[in-house]
Structure 1
Amino acid sequence: MQQQPGLLFTLASFVAMIAVLVVVHEGGHYLAGRLFNTRIEAFGVGFGRELFGWTDKRCVRWRVNAIPLGGYVKFVGDMNEVSQIDPAIMALPERERRGLFAFLPLWQRAIIVAAGPLINFVFAILILAGFNLALGHPSSPPVVDKVVEGSAAAAAGLQPGDRILSVNGTSIARFEDIVTEVVTGVGKPVTLDIVRAGVPREVTVVPKMVETVDRFGNVTRHPQLGIVRPAEVIEDVGVADAFRLAVVDTGSIIATIGRTLRQVILGERSLAEMGGPVKTAQIAGQQASLGLVSAIAFMAFFSINLGFINLLPIPTLDGGHLLLYGIEAVRRQPLAEKVQQWAFMSGFAALMSLMAVLTWHDFGSVGLWARLSGLLG
């Protein structure tokens, strides 16, 4: 079993990853704002007290703050770092409104807000495309190489050589797609469309729930069919295919995140399975300890997560702003200021509550509560 990285290494890896992704995400807002000549007050990495910073020739204050979790672009006229509009600017005369975010056309505001999450996806695609070009694109054909004795697949009658065409109606192009569809499930029966000796068949398999332990001792519980994949093939690809495959892989990850979130909302999956900041930091440290490639790969995965989460329609998140803009487009006028303030406060309270719950579960998953119990016992 691989030795766990030290606390300082883990924290440094996590902070470095967050810093890069914050600059990427907020850089999307910043560049889109610049595109529409929006007046920007500050670009902050982290929250809280400013540790150091500088002011550029456009009067933008670039800040590195004390709490290295998150960041913001603050436009002139924003009341705070989550881009709530200061009501006082609504009384400004017409000549002083030019370049203020609050008075931009609705479509421009929407583009500026959406640019943050979208650039997270673009960043991940660039990383994955780079891997495809430098290392090749790994895949295995969707063919059963072996069937594990006593497994769910054996009970369902699957045989070596069976080619799997779809899982629960979802087309399969490679063996990795089978793994994604099954492992992210919750143990319900799985319908496989297969071809055996040229004859199409339909097979229903009831996966077994198993626990696996990775090289760092992390335990995960997931469904398992009990089939062995064929040898992995590394395909050399050109630039166009590298980006095409990166887009496909990014879309697959987004679909998996959405599926997992739906399962949590419906109660099919425990909230404890969603990692919070402590668990994310632990995994970031573990991946960084495996080398630069593993660290960058995890950063790409987390960038996709960050983009997805920020698009959720929760006030204070980018998706919440986009939701309010959608309502404004339908009503042809924004919601009342008090309603927007209530929405932002409610969204903030909900996010903080969720973060507290996830952190509580994280402490349990890293063994803190067990160690405290041992000390007190």
Structure 2
Amino acid sequence: MPDFGNALYTIVAFVVALSIIVTVHEYGHYIIGRLSGIKAEAFSIGFGPKLISHTDRRGTVWKISAIPLGGYVKFLGDANAASAGVDEAAMSGLSAEERRHTMHGAPLWARAATVAAGPIFNFILSIAIFAGVMMWSGTAIDEPTVGTVVELPGGAGDLRPGDRLIAVAGRPAATYPEIEDAVAKLPSQPTLDWRVARDGQEIDVTGPQLFPPRLAGVAPQSAAYDAGLGAGDVVTAIDGAPIWTFADLQDRVKAADGKPLDLSIWRPAKTGAETLDVTLTPRRTDIPTATGGFETRWLIGATGSFVFEPETRMTTPLEAVTGGARQTWAIVSSSVSALTHMISGKISSCNLRGAIGIAEGSAAAAKGGIDDFIWFIAVLSTAVGFLNLFPIPVLDGGHLMFHLYEGITGKPPSDAVMNFLMAIGLTLVLSMMIFGLWNDLTC
């Protein structure tokens, strides 16, 4: 029963995430097509038999279908839901004016805009979510100031919300880079001596490490996630030896070289903190570098953070949208880099995951809370938009290549060529899906 419950949770989380992304993608096709004068006959979320449907005043049938693994918009004159081929019987009975309202009789600019709108709407969704999260969470003010202190086994020491950090261990540290640089030069120890500005005075206090061995987040399908660790857990010791900083944790994981580690965990809870022991084995992981390449390291799949949440100010709409666009572009560029590195054999092909891996990621994000789940949807939306731009027939990018050919030559590819390329495209897409599923089961 527990396994069944977990599987059901995974499926539901996956379907919800995918349905949101597909709805936005297909609505992009629909609304730009409609604004371009192309009539949509059907808008479906899912494939197969329809479960519920509604016909609007424009004659478009809106429906939810039984197989929730995608969706489509079927425009007037399409031979099928993929807009691959012309329904000659339907087209032959239309006047010249009516043909203008079909996908295949519309001007080239209208067809290209309608096709491109799906991926573009996915990117817009991602940017909007990232921007919304940034506006909700705020932007750290320039002066390092304590907002709230995270829960730790030894408490927050003498640090208080509102404290403005001035120095650490006698080293001036009035900016975040200065603080990080000063702490990095200090030996690992349980506490630090801070100088702070409080209530108009400068005082010396004792507080926790800047980067304690606390897990701020845990990646799905990682060693830490599979061991049951989560955000807020604090690693107090490894193989019986106490650690004080997140850097200590990283060093011990690296030194283990893939051997199992025994971790002592302190976990905060509403009913009182608890301690537990877990054993996990670090995994070789390919991670992107700042220069655009990849490096392979032993990781447990956890991230760290400051001992405090910085005091923030309101993020302006321009900052939020700009930040959202940068985040979306970072996902696209890292995806391109990962694909080229996999093709060249520089990193493992196991980095390409399939539907099972995406479903597990959806469930893990949902279990992490609504914030994590919404963020996951934004990341997945970017991935879907990027994937659909691949110049592969049956995908939007393939259709755009056909339109580009038509724009250059003045005529579309012949039906024979189109059918041949669509068959190749379908084979490539199915092969990629099967390869991803194989990786999900074997990697």
- TM-score for both structures, normalised by structure 2: 0.63
Amino acid at match of 1:60: T
2:354 corresponds to 1:276: yes
**What's 1:198 paired with?**
none
Q: Distance in 1 between matches of 2:28 and 2:309?
A: 37
Which structure is larger by alpha-carbon Rg, 1 or 2? 2
**What's 2:135 paired with?**
133
2:27 corresponds to 1:18: no
Whether the 8 Å CA contact 2:78–2:87 is kept in 1: the answer is no
Amino acid at match of 1:136: G
Judging changes above 3 Å, is the alpha-carbon distance between structure 1 residues 234 and 75 closer, same or farther for their aligned structure 2 residues? farther
SS in structure 1 at match of 2:289: helix
Q: Distance in 1 between matches of 2:349 and 2:367?
A: 28
Q: Distance in 2 between matches of 1:310 and 1:232?
A: 38
Q: Distance in 2 between matches of 1:353 and 1:304?
A: 22
SS in structure 1 at match of 2:411: coil
Q: CA deviation at 1:38?
A: 1.1
Judging changes above 3 Å, is the alpha-carbon distance between structure 1 residues 127 and 234 closer, same or farther for their aligned structure 2 residues? farther
Structure 2: any 5+ residue segments left out of the alignment?
A: 142-175, 186-246, 252-286
Q: CA deviation at 1:231?
A: 7.9
Q: Distance in 2 between matches of 1:287 and 1:5?
A: 16
* 1:295 aligns with one of 346, 363, 373: 373
Whether the 8 Å CA contact 1:40–1:73 is kept in 2: the answer is yes
Q: Distance in 1 between matches of 2:133 and 2:45?
A: 28
Amino acid at match of 1:37: G
SS in structure 1 at match of 2:294: coil
Does 137-146 or 53-62 show the bigger shift? 137-146
Whether the 8 Å CA contact 1:4–1:286 is kept in 2: the answer is no
Q: Distance in 2 between matches of 1:26 and 1:124?
A: 15
Q: Distance in 1 between matches of 2:5 and 2:370?
A: 14
Judging changes above 3 Å, is the alpha-carbon distance between structure 1 residues 138 and 50 closer, same or farther for their aligned structure 2 residues? farther
Judging changes above 3 Å, is the alpha-carbon distance between structure 1 residues 33 and 283 closer, same or farther for their aligned structure 2 residues? same
**What's 1:100 paired with?**
102
**What's 1:45 paired with?**
45
2:431 corresponds to 1:353: yes
2:181 corresponds to 1:181: no
Query: Aligned pairs, how many?
Result: 305
Q: Distance in 1 between matches of 2:98 and 2:360?
A: 48
Q: Tell me the C-alpha RMSD between the 2 structures.
A: 2.9
Q: CA deviation at 1:4?
A: 12
* 1:342 aligns with one of 403, 412, 420: 420
**What's 2:68 paired with?**
68
**What's 2:34 paired with?**
34
* 1:212 aligns with one of 300, 305, 311: 300
Q: Distance in 2 between matches of 1:349 and 1:182?
A: 35
Q: Distance in 1 between matches of 2:69 and 2:311?
A: 37
Amino acid at match of 2:6: G
Judging changes above 3 Å, is the alpha-carbon distance between structure 1 residues 138 and 313 closer, same or farther for their aligned structure 2 residues? farther
Judging changes above 3 Å, is the alpha-carbon distance between structure 1 residues 235 and 245 closer, same or farther for their aligned structure 2 residues? farther
Q: Distance in 2 between matches of 1:180 and 1:4?
A: 35
**What's 2:406 paired with?**
328
Q: Distance in 1 between matches of 2:292 and 2:9?
A: 30
Q: What's the CA shift string for 1:81-132, capped at 9, x where partnerless?
A: 1111325156454243131111111111111110000011111111111111
Q: Distance in 1 between matches of 2:87 and 2:4?
A: 51
Amino-acid identity (%): 33
Q: Distance in 2 between matches of 1:240 and 1:209?
A: 37
**What's 1:164 paired with?**
none
Q: Distance in 2 between matches of 1:342 and 1:87?
A: 18
Amino acid at match of 1:104: A
Judging changes above 3 Å, is the alpha-carbon distance between structure 1 residues 59 and 180 closer, same or farther for their aligned structure 2 residues? same
Amino acid at match of 1:126: A
Q: CA deviation at 1:54?
A: 1.7
Whether the 8 Å CA contact 1:5–1:289 is kept in 2: the answer is no
Amino acid at match of 1:8: L
Q: Distance in 2 between matches of 1:240 and 1:317?
A: 33
**What's 1:258 paired with?**
336
Amino acid at match of 2:25: H
Q: What's the CA shift string for 1:180-210, capped at 9, x where partnerless?
A: 52597333xxxxxxxxxxxxxxxxxxxx632
Q: Distance in 2 between matches of 1:67 and 1:359?
A: 18
SS in structure 2 at match of 1:301: helix
Q: Distance in 2 between matches of 1:296 and 1:27?
A: 19
Which has the larger helix fraction?
1
Judging changes above 3 Å, is the alpha-carbon distance between structure 1 residues 305 and 63 closer, same or farther for their aligned structure 2 residues? same
Q: Distance in 2 between matches of 1:71 and 1:322?
A: 19
SS in structure 2 at match of 1:109: helix
SS in structure 2 at match of 1:72: strand
Alignment of 1:230-249 (within 5 A): 235-236=312-313, 237-249=315-327
Alignment of 1:105-124 (within 5 A): 105-124=107-126
Q: CA deviation at 1:50?
A: 1.5
Q: CA deviation at 1:62?
A: 1.1
Amino acid at match of 1:98: R
Judging changes above 3 Å, is the alpha-carbon distance between structure 1 residues 242 and 13 closer, same or farther for their aligned structure 2 residues? same
SS in structure 2 at match of 1:101: coil
Amino acid at match of 2:98: E
- TM-score for both structures, normalised by structure 1: 0.74
Q: What's the CA shift string for 1:34-54, capped at 9, x where partnerless?
A: 111211110011112222212
Q: Distance in 2 between matches of 1:213 and 1:5?
A: 25
Q: CA deviation at 1:337?
A: 0.9
Judging changes above 3 Å, is the alpha-carbon distance between structure 1 residues 184 and 129 closer, same or farther for their aligned structure 2 residues? same
Q: CA deviation at 1:234?
A: 6.3
SS in structure 2 at match of 1:41: strand
**What's 1:7 paired with?**
7
